[in-house]
């Protein structure tokens, strides 16, 4: 895993709702026993002075109440909005630095197309990469 990938995952792991830290996995590396809610991200590494676009997915499981899962999803999205303000957020890592911005259509509800017990959201980020 690159320094950038490690830093981005650590950045996203700052999301805490209540006393729960939201786990972050690379898209193809979600363990079978992963506990909901969690985020998935497919890392798009850019060269210095490039702009890349990252899509992060939030996944919440509907338990006894769909309403409870929807409240949880909304709270996590609020935390993500706080983590990535309109002016952007700085991400430093060994060998470089990136600025993380809200992309157009920053957050949107998105449910699992294969499992109707899982609801989620799509978070769209624009990332500008710089050299140190």
**Structure token pair of residue 70:** 């929807």
Closest by alpha carbon to 80, among 104, 107, 108? 107
Single pTM value for the model: 0.91
Pick the CATH number of 3-131 from 3.10.20.30, 3.30.2000.40, 3.30.429.10, 3.30.465.10: 3.30.2000.40
Domain boundaries, the chain: 3-131
Per-residue pLDDT, averaged over 9-32, amounts to 93
Q: In sequence order, what E strands does 1-132 have?
A: 16-17, 20-21, 23-26, 38-41, 51-61, 89-93, 96-109, 118-131
Element (H, E) at 66: helix 66-83
pLDDT of residue 132: 61
- Model confidence over 52-96: pLDDT tens digits? 999 999 999 998 889 999 999 999 999 999 999 999 999 999 989
Rounded to the nearest angstrom, the gap between the alpha carbon of residue 73 and the centroid of all alpha carbons in its chain is: 12
Please provide the average confidence, as pLDDT, over all residues in the chain: 93
pLDDT band at 30 (very low <50, low <70, confident <90, very high): very high
pLDDT of residue 115: 93
């Amino acid at each position: 895993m690159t320094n950038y990938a490690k830093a981005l995952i650590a950045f996203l792991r700052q999301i805490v709702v209540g006393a729960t830290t939201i786990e972050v996995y690379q898209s193809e590396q979600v363990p079978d026993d992963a506990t909901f809610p969690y985020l998935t991200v497919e890392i798009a590494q850019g060269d210095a002075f490039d702009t890349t676009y990252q899509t992060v997915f939030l996944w919440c499981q509907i338990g006894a109440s769909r309403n409870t899962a929807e409240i949880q999803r909304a709270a996590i999205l609020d935390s993500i909005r706080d983590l990535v303000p309109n002016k952007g957020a700085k991400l430093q890592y060994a060998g470089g630095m990136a600025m993380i911005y809200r992309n157009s259509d920053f957050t949107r509800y998105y449910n699992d197309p294969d499992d109707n017990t899982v609801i989620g959201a799509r978070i769209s980020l624009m990332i500008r990469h710089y050299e140190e």
